[in-house]
Structure 1
Amino acid sequence: MLYRGDFVYTENLCDLTIRRDYLLAVDTEGYISHFDHASTTCSHSLISNESDDHIVLIPPGSFILPTFCDLHLHAPQFLYQGTGLHLPLMEWLNEYAFKAEESLDQDVNLARRVYTRLGERLAENGTGAVLLYGTIKEETNLILAETMQQIGIRAFVGKLSMDISTRPTYVEPTHIESLASARSFIDRVAAFISHIPDHARLVEPVLTPRFVPTCSDALLQGLGDLAAKTGVRVQSHLAEARDQMKVVQESRGMSDLEVFERRNFRVLLDTEQAIAHCPLSNAYFSGRQLILREALDRGVCVGLGTDVAGGYGIDIMGAMRWAVGVARLSEGARLERSEGQAQARVSRDKAADPLIDTRGISVDWKEALYLGTRGGALALGLDSGVFKTGAPFDAQQICVFNPSTMPYGTGPLDFFDSGDGYLDLSPEVIEKWWCLGDARNRTGMWIQGKRVYFG
């Protein structure tokens, strides 16, 4: 299959790449086999040897963008998305999260309905890969994995491991049974995908100790050993909120990071760590936002997450916008503190961290777009997020305007300076979509070369 038109991606943190009138070829397994300007000899040869029904022309006013990656989403909490955000974290978990998760574990039909609609919403919003928190019960998580595979979403599915709970009916009896269930889930996912060709396998299991307050030291140690033995990825929460950190300090006598490091997760933290930055849920539950700029400047792998239902929106575009807004607020607070300090203190701070003091800690929309696409892909170990030979064709088609309807663009966009009805696909046009666009601008999505959404 050939795709001809404009392509946009962010291969590096600060670079926005716009390729105009390019030709992209996808092989039978869904990998990009050619990506070059449509005027080249090789491109001409591909076009001349392909039938018209295998050539997709991207119309003026539209472009192809890599799909979004969501690094943190609680699948069962989609059940009550957009409600219950008035409580502190630990109270919120008891009042809403645990109840919702338990209800899906008790009703497989409800689980299928929720997870099917979740997958459809992810495709509608351009999310092609997602790292999911599930529930305790193996069968419910297998439903989640099967549903995502069927819809065509790359899904990293985490069966929750938790042998401590404030809800007596929603807990695994012992750390031994919890570990056995985690091992069983890994094997059952492997069995489920064994009949699927390698290139078409979209789901994989993830070890998921919920967080320190719900996991005994013995369970964490066992999961750390299991991760080292199997190579299965691990996800969890760290230092999310003041009440959560207080619980850990009082029960363990140390921070949750120290707890993980002592339970055979050190190698993961030191060499393969990635941060799922969820700015919206942090605004609700955390006493302090992640200093995103510091993490990026220090070379930490960072992507974005929606944290549904701790975050009310399933769209990564919302997470991108919140990431920029929160960083701007943090920068404003930093400047205000600096202005109120004595010169000696300011000089000392510069010596301690000159990079932050000279560059500030804000981020811009291009950097956020990188985090929502390429940054998230790298965090998940995927080769997507860019357009290059050998990468999977994971892409979404975005329409910002139709020349025949100008100056009125697509969805919420308007372009009153369009002149003759056409605008060049400039960074300014893309920024306008980034700020104002929504699902109405999405006219298609492909995962591993297969179209999974028709806008």
Structure 2
Amino acid sequence: MQRAVRIRGTFAHTPRLGDLEILYDYLLVTDSSGVVTHFQAAQTLESQTVLQKLSECVTLPTGTLIVPNFVDAHLHAAQFLYQGNGLDLPLMEWLNKYAFKAEERLDGDPTLARRVYTRLARRLIHNGTGTVLLFGTIKEETNLILAEVMQAAGLRAFVGKLSMDISSRPSYKESSAQSSLQAAHSFVEKCRGLTANLPSHERLVEPVLTPRFVPTCSDELLAGLGKMSATENLKIQSHLAETLDQVEYVRKERGAEDMDVFDRSGLLTPRTIQAHCTFLDVPSFKHIHSRETAIAHCPLSNSYFSAEPFRLREALDEGVKVGLGTDIAGGYSLDLMNSMRHAVSVSRMRQGSKQMKADSDDGKSLAIDWKESLYLATKGGATALGLATGAFGVGLSFDAQEIRLYDPQTGMGVGALDFFDLEVSDVSGDAETVTVEMVEKWWGLGDARNRAGMWVQGAKLDISPL
């Protein structure tokens, strides 16, 4: 697969929280493994020298820019089966009625599983997501299908076979902690084996240890997974302090906070991504930061299931690594652009509530802005997963999407975007006619109609209609 990229045009990224850079008339070149080897203004002497040596180079039209792919840091692949349905119950009841049933169904029907996962991969690409952290199911075969499908689609995917030796659904659990640990080890080996014969830059799929959450995992299982992660250098994903009923359940059954249960099991590590964390306070964030553990913020599903909004600003202020997740199907939208928008909305409501309390105004806002949310959806998620992506620069993998804002000939906006002044102006020769306000409009109103291309590790993906 061709991974050598040569593009000249406008690039936009958020290399730091809240810092949007729009880079006009830049030249980006990658090597044959999809890693950026040159990224400078096209008019520099070095860029001109590079251009003279290139046999071909794509020049983007005015009104088009390259931005990083989105990183979905929390998604339940099997629950894509019923995306958009079943959001009427508290979490622990919802799991029994919808989630476990759907996951068990796919475990019993590999043909259906492959069909669901193939459609999921296409939808992710359609929505600009190039990297995804996936919860799977219990059965090894089903998770290997998931890994195969993601690799074939060209997506960067972290696939987790669920580890569960406790369940409120008797038919959906593993028989013991030891059998669960053996199954996790077997999946890791086979998942790694799927790409073992490929060059390192083409190995897009990795296994992830996935204790579902404390209520479905015994102390023995959690401790065993902690040792396996350390020994095999494996990433870990789970759910932490998500909802009131879940938090109270753990306190009653374990006599501890679930953060402490994970910690004593060796599962809060620099390789760990914990979803939700809505019931964590500032001292807890300090502890999470000390462990270098990352958090996947899923604002839409939190609105349905959690009695508390995630304290996003406080987590960021404490230096916690945070990315965004869709949490399909606890969240109904697979489009991470909606997660960005909901993250801003929830944070602004938190700030509004704070302002209503006269004694709580310390001058520090709890709100985030759209630029910060774009960071969380790109560089923030990549950092949470330990990836050299999410922004543009020499040495980084080229994971990107081409976004069309307007037609340079007519000034007409693409999709839902309107730029009325451009419709009566000649913009065809102005390379800098992409403003911060235009990017913001795309953030607020843009959709798949604006997406003209996708790359993962330098390889161009098929974005044709489903």
What range is the shorter-chain TM-score in?
over 0.9
Letter in 1 for 2:440: E
**Matched residue SS, 1:388:** coil
2:333 matches 1:324? no
**Structure 1 CA distance, aligned partners of 2:192 and 2:462?**
27
The 8 Å contact of residues 209 and 229 in structure 2, kept in 1 or not, is answered as yes
Partner AA of 1:59 in structure 2 = P
> Which residue does 2:453 correspond to in 1?
444
Structure 1: where are the runs of 5+ without partners?
351-356
Corresponding letter in the other structure for 2:34 = G
- 1:421 Cα shift? 4.4
- Find 2:159's aligned residue among 129, 140, 157: 157
Instruction: Give matches, 1:38-437, under 5 Å.
Output: 38-51=42-55, 54-268=56-270, 269=288, 270-337=290-357, 339=358, 341=359, 357-406=362-411, 408-418=412-422, 419-422=424-427, 424-437=433-446
Q: Which amino acid aligns with 1:287?
A: A
One-letter code of the match for 1:307?
D
Deviation at 1:206, TM superposition (A): 0.4
- Whether contact under 8 Å (1:387, 1:393) holds in the other structure is yes
| 1:280–1:306 CA contact under 8 A, matched in 2 | yes
**What does the per-residue CA deviation read over 1:227-246, in whole Å, with 9 as the maximum and x for residues that have no partner?**
12111011110111111112
Q: Distance in 2 between matches of 1:421 and 1:162?
A: 61
Q: Report how far residue 409 of structure 1 moved.
A: 0.5
* Matches of 2:409 and 2:114, distance apart in 1: 42
SS at match of 1:234: strand
Question: 2-side partners of 1:405 and 1:160: how far apart?
Answer: 52
Q: Counterpart amino acid of 1:18?
A: I
Q: Does the residue aligned with 1:237 lie in a helix, a strand or coil?
A: strand
**CA shift for structure 1 position 90:** 0.8
Post-superposition shift, 1:48?
2.1
SS in structure 2 opposite 1:370? helix
**C-alpha distance in 2 between matches for 1:202 and 1:243:** 37
SS at match of 1:10: strand
> Counterparts of 1:195 and 1:372 in 2: how far apart (Å)?
31
- Structure 2 SS opposite 1:453: coil
Letter in 1 for 2:447: D
Pairwise CA RMSD: 1.3
Q: Distance in 2 between matches of 1:446 and 1:146?
A: 19
> What's the offset of the Cα at 1:327?
0.1
Distance 2:269 2:297 in 1: 21
Identity of aligned residues (%): 55
Corresponding residue of 2:32: 28
Q: CA deviation at 1:45?
A: 2.1
Structure with the largest fraction of helix? 1
| Aligned-partner SS, 1:401 | coil
Aligned 8 A contact 1:446 1:453 in 2: no
- Normalised by the size of structure 1, how large is the TM-score? 0.94
TM-score norm. by structure 2 comes to: 0.92
Shift in Å, 1:137: 0.5
SS at match of 1:113: helix
SS in 1 for 2:409: helix
> Which amino acid letter does the alignment assign opposite residue 387 of structure 1?
F
Q: Give CA deviations for 1:91-144 in whole Å, capped at 9, x if unaligned.
A: 111111001101111111101101111111111111111100000011111111
- SS of the equivalent of 2:391 reads coil
> Is the contact between residue 18 and residue 372 of structure 2 (CA under 8 Å) also seen in structure 1?
yes
SS in 2 for 1:11: strand
Mapped contact 2:125–2:463 kept (Cα < 8 A) = no
